[in-house]
Amino acid sequence: MDKKTRIPSLALTVILIVLSACTQQSNTTPLPYTDDFTNPASGWQTLSDTSADVKYDGGALRFVIKQENLTQWSVAGKTFQDGVFEVDAQPNGGPTDNGFGIMYRVKDRKNFYHFEISSDGYWRAGITQNGNWVNWDDWTENGSVKANNAKNHLKVIMKGDTFTLFVNDEQVLQKQDKSYAVGDIGLFALSLIDKPGTDISFANVKITAAPNTK
């Protein structure tokens, strides 16, 4: 089936904390920020039920999606504005027809930017507004995405209203959008119709200062 036709349901089961008070604060989290997921008390939310498991697992935050057509995520509980957000993501098995990636400038569970890849070599990015997912670029095949169970490095440079997205240090998109100026960061994984079993480990989250540009 063409990747572009495989769009996950907008009905999400979420593990997102209430962010309204956090994102209204004027103070942002100091940089650099890092998390190697060796401390289960570092603040990322976890879950274990019939739909999914999200847990600290040997220096990673691991997502196992047990049901089809489901998106599950977790946020850091921090506040960021500009910065370079990076993470390593590696499948542990499951279908290659999947999705996993990052959320940034998260205002609440219905408003954020997203950037994700799949184990069969595709990527997608966009914005979620009032719960509606709008894709700047829908699932598009790209040779910079390492397929199957390979580790991929995801990065987004957040600089004012400009976002530059990379997979394995290869730029795939630059986009300007003024919707969200500040917010949390998150990680997520999703399963598609008839494809339960997405199993992804995220490691080495870091946010460093955005580069100065003229």
Residue 189, domain extent? 3-23+38-77+89-153+178-203
Around Cβ 1, how many Cβ atoms within 10 Å? Answer: 9
Task: For residue 214, tell me if it sits in a domain.
Answer: no
Give the C-alpha separation, 104 to 112, whole Å.
6
Q: What Rg, from alpha-carbon coordinates, does the chain have?
A: 16
- Is the model's pLDDT at 1 over the cut of 90? no
| Overall number of domains in the chain | 1
The reported pTM is 0.88
pLDDT given at position 19: 40
Question: Cα(114)–Cα(184) distance, rounded to whole angstroms?
Answer: 12
pLDDT of 9-58, one tens digit each?
Answer: 443 444 443 344 333 445 899 999 999 999 999 999 999 999 999 999 99
In a domain, 30, yes or no: no
Residue 83 lies in a domain: no
CA atoms of 174 and 124, how far apart (whole Å): 12
pLDDT digits 0-9 by tens, 54-81: 999 999 999 999 999 999 999 999 999 9
In a domain, 146, yes or no: yes
